[in-house]
């Protein structure tokens, strides 16, 4: 039987797409120059207990982000960043790996998945998970896994909290943006469609369609080129160590989302700031600092 071996760090190409903005959610991000996550009523009910100073990221972590002013662009990973898709991927991997006798038929753990699979590119995962298997057969396994993901996603995929409010805020300031992922194009397009973000992203960059996928910088460098943005006025949202390393290698500060992976793992990979989701007050503080250019050209 095949048994798992912890892979070495996995080196984890594009089609322009272009939000039909979802209906507004009162009291969240607005299109005004001030930023508010919550309505006054929510604050009175204690939804936020942090003071503004407590919400500020530490100087050492946020310095790279505040130097981006005026903000020009934001790049997004998809899996685990726009949506909490890892539980769906984990379920598909666990079931299919058990079916073929991986690890002597013992189901993989979430810890194994996080350390050896999450954020990886399928070609690299096929080689690391199945070093003794014919590569074409290993890639067929990966294709079967992606098909299972697409079958499960419509009933299970959910946006990370605060995503659509942030998207409206981005649109109100006419910021450039792109989605950058190691997921297969069919998966990426499905997720964007389920999230209602197909038209929000003018550019979708797929790792396997670049010379090298994440954790190499190529996908993020390609995104910057396609949207005409400078790394000096751009930051990235990512949830995996692989993706964070890719962003750092591209010379772009990265905000890490702790949707599934431990904060220490993301910090060690080079994240400039860690947030729980897009409603995190630390993100509010950073967005106030970077002073993005608004739709009418004012900072």
- The set of catalytic residues is 77, 79
Q: How far is Cα 152 from Cα 34, in angstroms, rounded to an integer?
A: 39
For the chain, where are the alpha helices, taking DSSP H only?
Answer: 40-44, 52-55, 59-66, 86-99, 110-116, 122-129, 135-156, 163-172, 185-195, 218-227, 241-249, 263-269, 281-290
Does residue 265 contact residue 248 with C-beta atoms inside 8 Å?
A: no
Q: How far is Cα 265 from Cα 261, in angstroms, rounded to an integer?
A: 7
Q: How far is Cα 228 from Cα 142, in angstroms, rounded to an integer?
A: 34
| Total H helices, total E strands in the chain | 13, 6
């Amino acid at each position: 039987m095949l048994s798992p071996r912890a892979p070495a760090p996995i080196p984890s190409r594009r089609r322009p797409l272009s939000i039909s903005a979802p209906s507004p959610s009162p009291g969240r991000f607005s299109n005004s120059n001030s930023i508010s996550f919550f309505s006054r009523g929510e604050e009175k009910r204690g939804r936020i207990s942090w003071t503004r100073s407590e919400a500020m990221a530490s100087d050492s972590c946020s310095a790279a982000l505040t130097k981006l002013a005026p903000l020009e662009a934001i790049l997004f990973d998809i899996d685990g960043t726009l949506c909490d898709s890892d539980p769906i991927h984990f379920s598909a991997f666990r079931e299919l790996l058990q079916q073929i006798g991986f690890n002597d038929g013992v189901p993989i753990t979430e810890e194994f998945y996080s350390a050896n699979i999450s954020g990886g590119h399928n070609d690299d995962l096929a080689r690391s998970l199945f070093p003794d298997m014919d590569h074409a057969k290993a890639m067929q396994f990966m294709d079967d896994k992606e098909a299972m993901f697409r079958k499960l996603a419509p009933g299970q995929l959910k946006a990370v909290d605060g995503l659509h409010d942030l998207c409206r805020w981005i649109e109100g300031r006419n910021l450039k943006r792109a989605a950058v992922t190691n997921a297969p194009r069919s998966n990426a397009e499905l997720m964007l469609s389920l999230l209602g973000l197909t038209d929000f992203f003018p550019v979708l960059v797929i790792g396997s369609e670049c010379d090298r996928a994440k954790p190499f910088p190529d996908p993020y460098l390609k995104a910057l080129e396609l949207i005409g943005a400078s790394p000096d006025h751009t930051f990235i949202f990512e949830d995996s160590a692989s993706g964070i390393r890719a962003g750092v290698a591209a010379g772009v500060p990265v905000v890490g989302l702790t949707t599934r992976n431990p904060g220490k793992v993301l910090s060690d990979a080079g994240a400039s700031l860690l947030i729980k989701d897009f409603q995190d007050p630390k993100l509010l503080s950073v967005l106030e600092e970077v002073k993005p250019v608004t739709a009418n050209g004012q900072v």
